[in-house]
Amino acid sequence: MHKSTILGKIKAELIPEKFINEKEKNVMKFSNAAKGVSKIFTAEILGLIAFVLMGIGSIAVIGAAASSGDKVSDVAAGSIVGGGILATIGAIIMIIGAIINIVGLVQAGKDEPFFKYALYAMIIYFIVSLIISIALSASGSAKDYASNGGTLLNLIVNVLVIQGIINLANAKQDAKVAQKGLLIFKLIIVVTVLQIIASIIGVATQSTAAAVVVLVLAIVALVLGIVRYFIYLSMLSNAKKMLADDAE
């Protein structure tokens, strides 16, 4: 009893309580989040590639239609076919990326609930999108909904994932990542809103006379979308580095 008390005093003098507490905090590991964020990062890179391919394909089709008018030339027809192929490849890559993203969200959700919320948002969107697509299959408005709805879904998922990363950064006492997360949080919202506005205007002005305007707005939407992806990838890259030591 006496010996234990003496050792306790020596330990308290050599290792202050504040140091012990901070060391215990630093021992916190988020191995699931580390693996999950890594997968989300990979999925977003695939998403960026898919977005660019689909965007270029769409611009090629719109450009061909704008230049040819009522009569479609051989060159325009080739552009339309080529654009369709690019869009198809992009769609396949996007599906693969979505699957990897879901796996990453499930894994990261074991350590941080906001990743789970992002997964729930994706599931709800897919269900609602399927119902609306079936209901509007007779008209072309289903495609417009899918485009704008997909952009809005990305915003919601991005915001939830970033909030999850900010929570992890706070838990790991990494103020730099947390502050950058707040900044990127705001930037992504602004860029995505502008992207949606450009897309809506493009849909609203669809006509032969306004084909050039539609083409310009499609290019603007593509550029804004790419900017959003790079901003988001920057956040995920920071999170990967922060969680690198936690990966098993």
The domain spans of the chain are 30-246
Instruction: Give residue-wise pLDDT tens across range 154-171.
Output: 788 889 999 999 999 999
* Whole-angstrom distance, CA of residue 69 vs CA of residue 72: 7
* Nearest residue to 41 via CA among 106, 97, 92: 97
Most confident stretch, 11-25, 59-73, 89-103, 121-135: 89-103
**pTM for the complete prediction?**
0.75
The one-letter code for the residue type at 164 is: G
Contact 86, 78 (CB under 8 A): no
Instruction: Give residue-wise pLDDT tens across range 212-227.
Output: 777 777 788 888 888 8
Instruction: Give residue-wise pLDDT tens across range 112-127.
Output: 999 999 999 988 878 8
Tally of CB atoms within 10 A around 5 = 9
Per-residue confidence (pLDDT) for residue 76, from 0 to 100: 63
How many C-alpha atoms does 85 have within 13 Å on its Cβ side? 6
